[in-house]
């Protein structure tokens, strides 16, 4: 009897010590995650209710006569390319920062819708543990990646084409940033998803990764020295995490350390190549979101990109610290307003919640809480691939 009492007391002490130790280890971090869940719970459940009622719409639902691809090939057109007034039937000409509303965007919108559906369902599953959300996600995953009649080919050979100039470009690879929350959603729900389905989805992403790494378009996009290079690496990391491709995860991490951070960031934490564009605010926040998402995906206890610093002092924290004041109060922005959508930024940028979690910064969390979590402007949504941060927080 005495031995049992002593054992219970000893076990209780161990549990108490473990609990206290955990609380001392990360009390603010735990609180930030709790606050994020409280902030988003209502929004997530409303979005999930909508997602539960949606039927799949893939790239096979609409097509364009200007596409050089087939029914199952994703097709989009360069945003800033317009008909030439002097030669209306000739090759398009560029107007940087000005989106042509007549371009074909149906496939892009379908992919964004797919991303929103899976992101909402995965978020609701994470909050509630209800398997109904995973069951509904299965319907859409099967349509996009498995079913012969509706699936998308695992390549992006015909993305961001330009009439009269290119049937596709490497720059178009940025369009599949919308598949990141699909990949992450599968990771979140995979324990309750059908194994055969999960394996089929992973096979699709493995094929797409192979295309990204071997096709000339992928090689070109990888070398881009602005947000396109960041987004290529971000996608690589996301899809490699789903497929457990450690070689590509290591490659992405190495590229962040040796190429993206040192070559894109200035000493003050800004991104000069983004600042030189006609939409410097929007592009800067987009690139910062992408870099912080990379840190969120790739960081491990033994190799934490959040605390990584180059030899000349560049770090992701410096980037967040530089841009944060312009999110908190946009009137402090020192440059001219963006030529389009100036009034639509910022929204609840993922860099705020990810960095708040990583550095235990309550002020960044509070700013994120106050911003718009349900943007409706197409340009903002297109440049906001992480719209469901709950599925990304560890």
Within a domain: 175: yes
C-alpha–C-alpha distance, residues 265 and 259, integer Å: 10
Within a domain: 378: yes
| Whole-number percent of the chain with pLDDT over 70 | 93
Range of the domain at 119: 29-391
Q: What is the pLDDT of residue 20?
A: 37
Q: How many domains does the chain have?
A: 1
CB 333 within 8 A of CB 308: no
C-alpha–C-alpha distance, residues 185 and 166, integer Å: 34
CATH of the domain at 232: 1.50.10.100
Within a domain: 4: no
pLDDT in tens, 233-281: 999 999 999 999 999 999 999 999 999 999 999 999 999 999 999 999 9
Whole-prediction pTM value? 0.89
Within a domain: 211: yes
C-alpha–C-alpha distance, residues 250 and 350, integer Å: 23
Within a domain: 19: no
Within a domain: 271: yes
Q: What is the pLDDT of residue 89?
A: 85
Q: What is the pLDDT of residue 95?
A: 87
CA angle 12-15-20, nearest 5°?
125
Within a domain: 9: no
Q: Answer with the residue of higher pLDDT: 268 or 90.
A: 268
pLDDT in tens, 305-342: 999 999 999 999 999 999 999 999 999 999 999 999 99
Within a domain: 244: yes
């Amino acid at each position: 009897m005495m031995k049992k009492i002593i054992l219970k007391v000893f076990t209780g002490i161990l549990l108490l010590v473990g609990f206290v130790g955990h609380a001392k280890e990360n009390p603010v971090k735990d609180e930030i995650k709790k606050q994020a869940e409280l902030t988003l719970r209502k929004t997530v459940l409303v979005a999930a209710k909508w997602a539960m009622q949606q039927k799949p719409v893939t790239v096979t639902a609409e097509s364009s006569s200007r596409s050089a691809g087939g029914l199952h090939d994703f097709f989009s057109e360069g945003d800033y390319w317009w008909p030439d007034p002097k030669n209306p039937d000739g090759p398009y000409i560029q107007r940087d920062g000005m989106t042509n509303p007549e371009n074909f965007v149906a496939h892009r919108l379908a992919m964004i819708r797919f991303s929103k559906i899976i992101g909402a369902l995965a978020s609701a599953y994470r909050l509630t543990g209800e398997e109904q959300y995973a069951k509904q996600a299965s319907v859409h995953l099967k349509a996009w990646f498995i079913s012969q009649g509706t699936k998308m080919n695992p390549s992006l050979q015909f993305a961001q084409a330009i009439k009269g100039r290119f049937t596709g470009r490497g720059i178009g690879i940025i369009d599949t940033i919308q598949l990141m929350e699909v990949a992450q959603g599968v990771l979140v729900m995979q324990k309750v998803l059908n194994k055969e389905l999960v394996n089929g989805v992973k096979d699709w992403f493995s094929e797409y990764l192979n295309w990204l790494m071997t096709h000339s378009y992928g090689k070109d996009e990888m070398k881009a020295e602005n947000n396109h290079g960041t987004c290529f690496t971000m996608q690589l990391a996301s899809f490699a995490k789903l497929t457990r491709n450690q070689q590509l995860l290591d490659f992405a991490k190495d590229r962040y350390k040796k190429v993206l951070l040192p070559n894109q960031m200035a000493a003050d934490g800004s991104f000069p190549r983004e600042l030189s564009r006609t939409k410097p605010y929007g592009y800067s926040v987009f690139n910062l979101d992408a870099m912080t998402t990379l840190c969120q995906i790739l960081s491990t206890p033994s190799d934490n990109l959040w605390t990584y610093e180059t030899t000349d002092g560049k770090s992701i924290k410096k980037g967040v610290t530089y841009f944060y004041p312009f999110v908190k109060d946009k009137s402090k922005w020192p440059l001219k307003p963006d030529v389009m959508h100036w009034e639509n930024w910022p929204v609840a940028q993922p860099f705020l919640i990810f960095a708040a979690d990583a550095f235990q910064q309550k002020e960044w969390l509070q700013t994120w809480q106050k911003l718009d979590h349900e943007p409706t402007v197409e340009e903002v949504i297109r440049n906001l691939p992480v719209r469901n941060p709950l599925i990304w927080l560890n």
